[in-house]
Chains A and B, each alone.
Chain A
Amino acid sequence: MASTIRVRATNNGDITEVQALIQHPMDSGFVKDAKGEIIPAHFIQELKFEYDGKAVFVADWGPAVSKDPYVKFSFKGAKKGDEIKISWVDNKGASDTTTAKIS
């Protein structure tokens, strides 16, 4: 299966800007389906970005983060061609991991 994580990391010398888009329903647990039954909560709880073995950004999410979540942040210390590792785990224990090259 293709990765659920799409990442763009760009370096402009000092700072690396990272944008990530993840495919995930992020069901809040408050929405009902067509039959009027509650769709159980299903959302990413933790999304971690690592560079050089260290976390550079960690997101703790609740179900109020939008479906197919997007996040953007920037960090220092990396250069073009380096890799970052991105991983998430949701409240049902599912997870995904990918790496992205900084351009």
Chain B
Amino acid sequence: MNAPPGPLATRRLILASVALIGLGNLPFGSRPAHAANDKYPEDAFKQKSQADAIKSLYGRSAEPSDKIKLDAPEIAENGAVVPISVTTTLDKVTSISFLVAENPNALAASYRIPEGTIPTVANRLKMAKTTNVLVIVEADGKLFSATKEVKVTVGGCGG
């Protein structure tokens, strides 16, 4: 791992050490990689369930927060294109992730939010069927979540 010098590097080293220690406890040999480095979190995207994806991405679980506003339609006629956005008043946000519970792989998108970037993201996701959309906000090293059910008329995973 080629971390640049400075405080960030120290943080990365610490996180990397923590990740190594924690590795033995995790299934699938996954690591809580997201906060620790800038690599594409391939393992997290391969997990089927929400819980496993969150574990792989962050290495811990989130608590619900009313400081997250998740905007998604009540009913999505076309599951292939569901506009979903999130905004939060939480401080020190470093990442925002979107998960769709009943998709073949729960994790849909994960956004890294450097300092100076507003913790607001809008995107469009595919949804296989009516299910909950979960958003995870990583703020000040803690994980917070918000969820909303979206009714899908025509599923977006085809086949």
Give A residues with C-beta under 8 Å from B.
Answer: 15, 28, 30-32, 45-46, 54-67, 69-77
Inside 8 A of B109's CB, which chain A residues have their CB?
59-62, 64-65
Of the residues B41, B81, B107, B110, contact of A66 by C-beta under 8 Å: B81
Looking at A31, A46, A56, A66, the one whose CB has the most chain B CB atoms below 10 A away is A66
Contacts A64-B109, A65-B108 given; does A30 touch B118 at CB 8 Å: no
A58 and B38 alpha carbons, distance in the complex (Å): 9
Please, how many angstroms separate the alpha-carbon atoms of A67 and B85 in the complex? 17
Q: In whole angstroms, what is the CA distance A30 to B158 when docked? A: 7
In the bound complex, CA of A31 to CA of B126 (Å): 12
User: Are A66's CB and B124's CB within 8 A?
Assistant: yes
Closest to B87 in A: A74
Per the CB 8 Å criterion, the residue count for chain B at the interface is: 35
Given contacts A46-B40, A73-B118, contact A64 B126 (CB under 8 A): yes
Beta-carbon contact of A60 and B111 below 8 Å:
yes
Contact in complex: B159, A31 (CB < 8 Å): yes
The answer on a CB contact under 8 Å between B45 and A66 is: no
Secondary structure of the A contact surface, majority rule: strand
Given A15-B118, A28-B157, A57-B114, also A66-B125 (CB < 8 A): yes
B156 within 8 A of A: yes
When distances are taken between beta carbons in the complex, the residues of chain B under 8 Å from A28 are 104, 126, 157-158
Checking A32, A60, A63 against B110 with a beta-carbon cut-off of 8 angstroms, the contacting residue is A60
CA distance A64 to B28 in the complex (A): 22
Question: Which has the most chain B C-beta neighbours within 10 Å: A31, A46, A61?
Answer: A61
Is the pair B159, A60 in contact by a Cβ cutoff of 8 Å? no
Check if A32 sits within 8 Å of B116, measured CB to CB. Answer: no
Instruction: Say if the beta carbon of B143 comes within 8 Å of chain A.
Output: no
